[in-house]
Structure 1
């Protein structure tokens, strides 16, 4: 999950999808519209090429987020790209 802090007690979460083998469905427009490909996935602590699904926003309590295991952090480039993709998808 990618976690965005909205306020001191409010967070939004987006699902990260690891891709072990590239599938043809990723080339379809409807799929491309909702996925952001993490460019610096190795720097982010991910083990495989990964995408963030911007079509579904999850909600979680602060206590649950604080207990979750953190794998890494997105680069500034990926943060900006993900925000742009999210805003583009949710126009």
Structure 2
């Protein structure tokens, strides 16, 4: 069974593992200006080969025109340590 068929079968059975339409009711998602979000994603894509990115709790406090995330230079195959991250 393909992943899409599995997802559809689960949804028909009442298990919706991707409730995109309902997720804001259960998970707080900070609203960002579309252009700010797009520009941040473009810059992250350019750096993705050498940096790892993570969510920052400060993103929600930054307002709609600013995007805050954690980044770490990631040149080896190992996982990142907690103290190796910087906010941008």
The TM tier, using the shorter chain, reads under 0.3
Q: TM-score, normalized by length of structure 1? A: 0.25
Greater strand percent: which structure? 1
Higher RCO structure, 1 or 2 (CA under 8 Å, sep 6+):
1
